[in-house]
Amino acid sequence: MIAPVADFGRRACAALAACSAVLHGISLGHGTNLAPAGLTAAMAAGCLYCARDLFVRGTLRAWVLVALINLTMIAIHAPAPAAHHHGGGVTTAAPAHHSTVMNLATTLAAVEVVAAAAVLYSRTRAVRPTRRSIDG
C-alpha cells in the first residue's frame, strides 16, 4: 500500500515542478532584457528536468536538487528592503511589488521544499535493524 502512495506523491511533486516551469514561461513575456529572459528560460528547463527526474525515478539526488533549486528561488525572489541602515534615523523602504505569478511561484516553491524535506528525512533517517535472539 505504501508504494502506490509514494508513487502518487512523487508524481504529484513532479506535476508541481512542471507547473513551476509553466510559471517561468509565463514570466518570460514580462521581461524587457535578453539576459533575464535567458536565465528564466534556463530555470524553466531546470524545472522540467526535475519534473522528469521525479516522475521517472524519484532518486535522492532528484529530491535534493528540487529542494536546493526551490530554496534558491525563494532566496533570490524574497523581498528585501531597499535601504538598510544601522543606528539613528528612520528609514522607509518601499515594499517590493510582486505579481500574482511570482506569489504563486513562491508558494509552489515553498510547498516543493517542504515535500522534498519530508521525503529526504523519511528516506535517509537511520533505521536500525532489529536483532532476534537465538535463544528464544
Give the start-to-end residue ranges of the domains of the chain.
Answer: 2-79+99-124
Q: Which amino acid is at 38?
A: G
- Residues 59, 53 contacting (CB under 8 angstroms): yes
Answering whether pTM is above 0.75, one says: no
Helix axes 100-124, 2-28, angle to 10 degrees: 150
Q: Which amino acid is at 45?
A: A
Q: Given phi > 0 = left and psi -120 to 50 = alpha, else beta, which region is 87?
A: left
What is the model's pLDDT at position 62? 92
- Count CB neighbours of 67 within 10 A: 18
- Residues 109, 98 contacting (CB under 8 angstroms): no
Which residue is listed with cell 516553491? 109
pLDDT in tens, the chain (136 residues): 557 777 888 999 999 999 999 988 888 877 678 888 888 899 899 999 999 999 998 899 999 999 999 999 899 887 655 444 445 554 444 444 457 888 888 899 999 999 999 999 988 886 666 666 565 5
What is the model's pLDDT at position 133? 58
- What ranges in the chain are assigned the alpha helix state H? 2-28, 34-56, 60-77, 100-124
